[in-house]
Structure 1
Amino acid sequence: MVIRKPVWIFVIMLIIAVILNVGLFNSFTTGDSSHRPKAVNGELDLSGWDFQHEGILKMDGTWMFYGGQLLGPNTDWGDSSLGESFVSVPSSWNNYELEPAVRKGLGYATYRLLIRVPEEAGTLAIRVPNIMTAYKLWINGDLIAEAGQVDELAENNKAEQYPRVISFASDNGIADLVIQVSNYKHRKGGIWTSFSLGTTQEITRKEILAVAEQMLIIGSLFIIGTYHMGLYAFRKRERFTLSFGLLCLCVAFRMGVTGETMMFQRFPGASWELGMRIEYIAFALCGVTGYTYIYRMFPQEGSKRSYWIFNAVGYTLSVATAVLPVLVYTRVLVIYQLYIVIVCATCMYVVTRARIRNREGATLVLAGITFFIFTVINDILFYSEQHVSVQLVPFGITFFILVQSIILSNRFTNAMQNVELVSDELRELNANLEQRVELRTNELKQSNESLEHSNIELEKLEKSRRHLLSNISHDLRTPMTLVQGYLEAMRDGLIEDKDQQQRHLNMMLGKLSRLNSLIDDLFELSKLEAGQVRFHYVNVSVRGWLESVQFSFETDVNRVGGALHCVYNGITLTASEMEQGSLGSESPIIRIDIARMEQVMSNLIYNALRYLPEADSDKDRRITIEAVEERGTVVIEVTDTGCGIDPEDLPYIFDRFYKKDKSRNSSEGGSGLGLSIVKEIVHQHGGWIEARNTIDHGASFLIRLPLAMQK
């Protein structure tokens, strides 16, 4: 199986994304966590844990908690008046329903965890995550780390956060961990990210890898973002590149103040409030730039109204974030999340529509945005503390960027191929200009010939029209003139003999009867052509209908010395054949107006009778009606052994009033409308009719009718 280039590149990128995600999930955990020790009632027993071989361990479980109290390491922990309780870590203290002092997220408290480690473990290290929003940490009475300023009063509290690695000696096998935490700035307080414990070497290695991964992603986002903005600067027609570049920069800025908080580590004096504003503003602007990118990419599937609504909401949230206190806009995080979810759903809808319509790049964008939306939902659950411990948006946007790079590469490749193709065509055009001129000349000649042929056809139509008017005037004037002459003769007394008068009256009646028949035929033909004749269609079997034709006309044909043969699928219908299968149960079905189709057959049969050989000649006097099923239709052919049709008359044989002495449509007293009526009736049945001939060997009329649909 051959895989196209964009497909296998996409597969490689997907594998890379999976590897990066696996690496992130395993940043500070290894092995199966189901058998790993957990803290129980404020104690974590790791006396049997081999840090060298079993690796890093998360310090999750139930810790000792003292809400509304800032206790130091020298506190008498056995004093029952301290109000000791046990809480789950990691978890924000908003979830501690039994701790009213911190239940609303604001306040201060003390955490304590007693860790038992092997006495020979030596120096160990703890990775301290971001703690909301200020803390002091003691191990065995020594102040090891602190961030911000912990205080009971809100005005004295100073927020600060970034993760760090601390080392401590565990010579006596005991590590008494005490952490004071205060929060008056953020909607959630406390420890809601896991601590990790391991050897100094392993913890440091994992931290370096985590920082390197984040630096790699942030750097890639900045480079690709500025690259796409540069593309827009040089080619403003590709407007989606600008919005995509801005999306990359928004995610990069947000990553810089979350996770490993690279901005705070690079600029230790940076304000924590500034970092929070950057995080929330970038979060809101991701919705603006994200939908703008999709809308610019697929404008026919996107909605301009949605574009303006998402821009208005995103910019409103950004302005509110810039002017409101941190505590206010962090408490309404659900509004930001709902906005992003709606934007993601709309983007998915637009890209899905583009994929259904086979827009260029829609397949890759759909794959990238699907993975990105998954990571967005994961991060929303993370910030909502819904049992998700890892943020994935950086890796989702990284994968999305890789997909966008493939799309750009594909577009540039196609553009280069088009340029090469145009260059080749120009070279070929220059090399074969004479041949092309000759080809165009031949095409013009063919066009001229086609115009000449059309002109000839128009001349024929004009001739037919003049012929029609001439015949109408002739066929109407002749009988009227004769009748007028007979009447004048009788008026003037030129015919006195009673027998002559009777003969002349009969002649006048005959002329008037023929004139009346002509007018009736013309009236019927006009109604047929105007679609004013009502047809009564019924389903009949082909064989059964053919048998009824033979019954209806066989006697008339025999009376003038001719023979009528009806043939169905190569079998001539005789009396015995009709007795054996007259019902035609296995015959195909046609939907016809029986009376109108009998009129068709009547015109064709009686027209053929007029041109059969003379009765005293030795030639065969035979009319054959043959029906054959053919590709969903039935072909009915009426042939005779007469004199045939002059080839000059064939194009006009079905025209009104077309008569010529040697034409099949002329006869003594014929109106010239019979075959025109036949043609209209056949067309009303959804069929067609044509005339064929071989001079002196008879004529043939072919009728093709559609078979009825079987239910």
Structure 2
Amino acid sequence: MNNTNMQKSFFVIMLLIMAASLAVPLFRLSLSDIPKAVKGTLDLRDYNGVRDKTVKLSGEWEFYFGQLLTPEDFKNQEPSGKTIQNVPASWGSYQIEGEHLPPQGSATYRLRILLPAEGGNFGIKITCISASARIFADDQLILECGSPGNSPETTVHKYYADTGYFQTDDGEVEILVQAADFSYVNSGILYEIHFGDQKSIAALRMYDSFLDISLISGMSFLALYFFGLGLQRKKSAEILFFALYCLVSSLQASVRSEALLNYALPALSYNTSLKILIISYTLCLYALIKFLYHAQEGGSSRRANLIIDGITLFFILLDWFTDFYLWGYIYTVALVGQIYVLFLLIALLAKNTKGGSEGRYYLFSAVVSSLIHLLTILANFILLWESNLFLPVFQPIFVLSLALYMSEKYENSFKTIEKLSDRLVVLDKLKDDFLAKTSHELKTPLNGIINISQSLLDGAGGSLSRAQAEDIRLITSIGKRLSTLVYDILDYSKLKVMDIQLHIVCLDVHQVAESTVDIFRYLIKGRPITLENKIPPNQHLIWADENRLKQIFSNLLDNSLKYTELGSISLSCRQDGGFLWIQVSDTGIGIPADKLKDIFAPYEQLGEQSANQRGIGLGLTITQQLIELHGGQIVARSEPGQGTSFTFSIPLAKDNKPQRSLPGDYVGYDGSESLATEALPQTVHVGGEFSILVVDDEFSNLKALMNILTLNQYNVTVAINGEAALHLLKGAFHYDLCILDVMMPGISGYEVCRKIRETYSPLELPILLLTAKALPEDMEAGFRAGANDFIEKPFEVRELKCRVSTLVQLKNSMDLLLKKETAFLQAQIRPHFLFNALNTIYSFCYTNPGKAGELLAELGVFLRSSFDFSSTASLVTVEKELRLVKAYVAIEEARFGSQLEVEYAVEPSVLNFSILPLMIQPIVENSIRHGLLKRSQGGKVSLSLTHSEDCIQVEVIDNGVGIPASVLKDLIHAKSETRGVGLTNISRRLLRFYGTTLTIFSVEDHGTTVSFRIPAKT
């Protein structure tokens, strides 16, 4: 069934409902045999429906104007002033002695009811007796609405419907109604009073209340719905006016008929209730007229709108702030307003019918229901028919018809927009595909441009002039900017089709921020900008994708750098509920207020605001979408000239702790070892030749690395943070490779790498960095920190194996070099030393043969140790090492006599401990040759060997020429022949086998102290 047929069916159904709602009550009225009151008496003795139906007490009542009579006043004799008047009616329409009664005053109504049988429980229901009343039945006060009096001061007006119940044993009931009104223009019993047994009256009350509640709740719900819809469709003002009409209609229904608002708010005064009723009528008409004006899309002039607004405002103010009430004339206002509404509806219908609109049948239904609703209002006001005589379906049908008309109208608009959107989607996809393909094609040539330009700067094509170098630097810079743009376009394309997968892990936000800040600190070298990370370490754990979080930081920091010529950029954070709010602030030029709302839109820039601006405006768009993918949001605040701050939220880990577990034992070794949080750090020996230290705060990564490495016969030690790794490296156990994660709690991988390089060279301990994304700037930061290589997570197993194998072989080559250096040191006997030693012995052969013999023995000891190549890596006792020192010193003392003095301070307990060979003699030799003998007067060398705290302390002190400060800092790592390999070799072996190094203190012209401390082992 198409839309037109559906509308026709709806129209027919609504017509049938409205016809039934009109026909049934009218048919009942035409067939009704209910008797009416005649001259103050209602005879129901022959009416059988009084026990199961309600009876309307209409007809002729006794009427006493100006008197408030009670049942006592009728017991002795009938009061004077009696007239017979029709009820219901306003007593302003009554005539007594040819004159109309005034609308204000007091009066008493009296009616005798003759019942068909004696006794029973009965009730009375009133709709409204203006404007205060008391009702008596057989001397019983059964109902009171307000408090009637004979003057305005003694009268309390009230406005609501009510019921009252009584019991009688007689066949006759006397109903007495007191009424008073000093406020209202229509006074007295305006609507019919219902009489019947208690059950029937209660059912009628419930029925009327149900109708009112249904109408109020239905119109209120529609008002909320259309208000919400209107706020979404801000350009469709007719929706808001339609919502206003529904709202005031529900308010109107609450103060009419059963007047439920007065029950809900007992403190509501009569005057206020009346004002609400009049204002609601006025606003209903106003909202309908404004709705129809806007629905015609320009069908009304601005002057007409202003006139309607002015008239409405005038009547509302007049009613609310004055004592002039419109109730007596409200039907005239309602009649004129409803007729005007009908005219506008018919005009709208004609316009839509002429244009072939599919919503015309809804408008037909709205016109018919509006017409019938108008007639029922007139019947209510003029004929004083009850509000609920007809089912209140006409106004809901009217509202439903207009709602469906708007729905049809918007459906047609939506279909048009949908067609255009489909076309735009196709074009947008073509554009995105073009950008993505172009970006992919640009990556290779751009990398070629950058690399070739950089190689030219490094001298690959020969020397460059200053102007040429500047031009090539510019080419390199432009190439890098284009490369960044290409990556932004690729990310933007992926985000548009939601092709980005997040690898959510628990992170210490400080470390991610610090690693990014490290890179940018390098980029701003030479610029008057300070970059500070104020996020505290080890306090805030978040759930995020490490790679994408770094991208968020990078984009925000890069944006700050673009628009900050000097000043500061800082990162800070605060915790709020389950989220961590991170702020990136700068002191740059700021963002104008008119542009601040658009900065997250694609391709949006500040234009000419900064000369440093680059890119095409995708950075902040990508940043916002990445943050939203994490479940957060980002806001920007800025003041021109004062700077800008971006604040974004990221979910916190539960209880600010990582919720991770690492199950089971690891394969790749015997299974007796397992990895658990409380057992870290932990070492697994598989009998391999090489040992590797793995540092990562992710248990899953530790497990994967341990599985892979142990399967390949590497001994593995795992640690969970940088502090643990540095502690392990200070121990006696030595490692051939360190695999280090960049993002870790406490201190970052970059910082750990820098601290390792303070002790170990890249050859002595290679470092392989694990990073989420090996971008050029990340790799540059890692190599500056001292890393040997990078591998990107998630990594391929074969790639990891190759990189690990290469680096451990590099370390093995370094160890072989160290052994050869030791062998060379052990075997180095310079010809001049041997020649001088033999000359000295020869001279003593004539002057002191005994001394010559002793020197020959010492030379033999020295030569035997020098040619013992098998001991280059094995341990010797301290006593044997000391014997070699004394042999060397004895020969040198014989040569230089009083110029050389050597003092020994050796604790006997140290002699039996083991030590690497040639650890002390080269230091003593260096002190004698380079410290004392360069002075004409010679000097003194003191050798101290002490034992304390399970360690051996070795200290060599001389009072020679000392070491210049410029030479001292590079002495241990020096490679020149003049200084030999002695101290360098000793330092490396100390580090290799004991995890310690030489300590050298020297003051020029005052001497030098060289010392080291090693574990005491036998």
Q: Deviations over 1:548-591 (max 9, x none)?
A: xxxxxxxxxxxxxxxxxxxxxxxxxxxxxxxxxxxxxxxxxxxx
The 2-side partners of 1:99 and 1:226 are apart by: 55
Q: Deviations over 1:233-262 (max 9, x none)?
A: 111122110111111111111111111101
Aligned to 1:173: 171
Aligned to 2:13: 12
Q: CA deviation at 1:335?
A: 5.4
Whether the 8 Å CA contact 1:159–1:183 is kept in 2: the answer is yes
The 1-side partners of 2:97 and 2:251 are apart by: 36
Whether the 8 Å CA contact 1:287–1:339 is kept in 2: the answer is no
**Are 2:347 and 1:350 aligned?**
yes
Aligned to 2:333: 336
Q: Deviations over 1:350-408 (max 9, x none)?
A: 32442443364344224313322331243134223377875779543211111123224
Whether the 8 Å CA contact 1:10–1:406 is kept in 2: the answer is no
The 1-side partners of 2:404 and 2:373 are apart by: 20
Aligned to 2:94: 96
Of structures 1 and 2, the one with the larger relative CO (CA 8 A, separation 6+) is 1
Whether the 8 Å CA contact 2:157–2:270 is kept in 1: the answer is yes
Whether the 8 Å CA contact 1:108–1:152 is kept in 2: the answer is yes
**Are 2:383 and 1:385 aligned?**
yes
Aligned to 2:362: 364
The amino acid across from 1:86 in the alignment is I
**Of residues 195, 202, 209 in structure 2, which corresponds to 1:204?**
202
The 2-side partners of 1:252 and 1:51 are apart by: 35
* Distance verdict in 2 for CA 1:389–1:45, change over 3 Å: farther
Show the 5 A alignment for 1:270-669.
270-325=268-323, 328-333=325-330, 336-337=333-334, 339-341=336-338, 343-358=340-355, 360=357, 361-385=359-383, 395-415=393-413, 417-418=415-416, 421=419
The farther-off stretch of 192-201 and 298-307 is 298-307
Q: Deviations over 1:39-82 (max 9, x none)?
A: 11101111122237762221111011111111110113674661
Whether the 8 Å CA contact 1:378–1:391 is kept in 2: the answer is no
The 1-side partners of 2:204 and 2:45 are apart by: 23
**Of residues 74, 93, 98 in structure 2, which corresponds to 1:76?**
74
Aligned to 1:500: none
RMSD: 3.2
Aligned to 1:251: 249
Aligned residues: 429
Whether the 8 Å CA contact 1:368–1:403 is kept in 2: the answer is yes
* Distance verdict in 2 for CA 1:260–1:80, change over 3 Å: closer
Whether the 8 Å CA contact 1:131–1:190 is kept in 2: the answer is yes
Q: CA deviation at 1:105?
A: 1.1
The amino acid across from 1:213 in the alignment is L
* Distance verdict in 2 for CA 1:234–1:99, change over 3 Å: farther
Q: CA deviation at 1:425?
A: 6.2
* Distance verdict in 2 for CA 1:338–1:65, change over 3 Å: same
Whether the 8 Å CA contact 1:375–1:391 is kept in 2: the answer is no
Q: Deviations over 1:400-428 (max 9, x none)?
A: 11112322432454355446655776799
The 1-side partners of 2:265 and 2:20 are apart by: 31
The 1-side partners of 2:398 and 2:315 are apart by: 25
Whether the 8 Å CA contact 1:294–1:350 is kept in 2: the answer is no
Aligned to 1:691: none
Look up the SS of the partner of 2:68 in the other structure: coil
Q: CA deviation at 1:194?
A: 0.5
Aligned to 2:135: 137
The 2-side partners of 1:251 and 1:418 are apart by: 34
* Distance verdict in 2 for CA 1:171–1:386, change over 3 Å: closer
Whether the 8 Å CA contact 1:67–1:102 is kept in 2: the answer is no
Whether the 8 Å CA contact 1:136–1:145 is kept in 2: the answer is yes
* Distance verdict in 2 for CA 1:316–1:431, change over 3 Å: closer
Aligned to 1:188: 186
Q: Deviations over 1:97-120 (max 9, x none)?
A: 227897121111100000011225
The 2-side partners of 1:87 and 1:407 are apart by: 49
Look up the SS of the partner of 2:231 in the other structure: helix
Look up the SS of the partner of 1:305 in the other structure: helix
The 1-side partners of 2:93 and 2:251 are apart by: 30
The 1-side partners of 2:389 and 2:351 are apart by: 30
The amino acid across from 2:194 in the alignment is S
The amino acid across from 1:144 in the alignment is I
The 1-side partners of 2:97 and 2:154 are apart by: 23
Gaps of 5+ in 2: 432-1018
Show the 5 A alignment for 1:142-153.
142-153=140-151
The 1-side partners of 2:337 and 2:414 are apart by: 37
* Distance verdict in 2 for CA 1:294–1:366, change over 3 Å: farther
The 2-side partners of 1:294 and 1:329 are apart by: 25
Q: Deviations over 1:503-533 (max 9, x none)?
A: xxxxxxxxxxxxxxxxxxxxxxxxxxxxxxx
Whether the 8 Å CA contact 2:18–2:369 is kept in 1: the answer is no
Whether the 8 Å CA contact 1:294–1:302 is kept in 2: the answer is no
Look up the SS of the partner of 1:233 in the other structure: helix
The 1-side partners of 2:330 and 2:315 are apart by: 10
Q: CA deviation at 1:336?
A: 2.5
Aligned to 1:229: 227
Aligned to 2:1005: none
The farther-off stretch of 86-95 and 348-357 is 348-357
**Of residues 201, 206, 216 in structure 2, which corresponds to 1:218?**
216
TM-score normalised over the length of structure 1: 0.55
Larger radius of gyration: 2
* Distance verdict in 2 for CA 1:415–1:181, change over 3 Å: same
Look up the SS of the partner of 1:36 in the other structure: coil
The 1-side partners of 2:31 and 2:76 are apart by: 33
Q: CA deviation at 1:149?
A: 1.4
Look up the SS of the partner of 1:112 in the other structure: strand
Aligned-pair identity in percent equals: 22
Look up the SS of the partner of 2:129 in the other structure: coil
Q: Deviations over 1:421-471 (max 9, x none)?
A: 5577679999999xxxxxxxxxxxxxxxxxxxxxxxxxxxxxxxxxxxxxx
The amino acid across from 1:279 in the alignment is L
The amino acid across from 1:262 in the alignment is L
**Of residues 53, 57, 60 in structure 2, which corresponds to 1:59?**
57
Q: CA deviation at 1:137?
A: 0.7
Q: CA deviation at 1:333?
A: 3.1
The 2-side partners of 1:393 and 1:362 are apart by: 26
Q: CA deviation at 1:190?
A: 0.5
Whether the 8 Å CA contact 1:240–1:296 is kept in 2: the answer is yes
The 2-side partners of 1:49 and 1:114 are apart by: 15
Aligned to 2:39: 41
The farther-off stretch of 45-54 and 216-225 is 45-54
The 1-side partners of 2:384 and 2:194 are apart by: 20
The amino acid across from 2:59 in the alignment is G
Aligned to 1:118: 116
The 2-side partners of 1:31 and 1:291 are apart by: 35
The 2-side partners of 1:187 and 1:123 are apart by: 36
* Distance verdict in 2 for CA 1:276–1:350, change over 3 Å: same
The 1-side partners of 2:337 and 2:379 are apart by: 13
Aligned to 2:239: 241
Aligned to 1:574: none
* Distance verdict in 2 for CA 1:430–1:338, change over 3 Å: closer
The amino acid across from 2:344 in the alignment is C
Whether the 8 Å CA contact 1:301–1:353 is kept in 2: the answer is no
TM-score normalised over the length of structure 2: 0.39
Q: CA deviation at 1:329?
A: 3.2
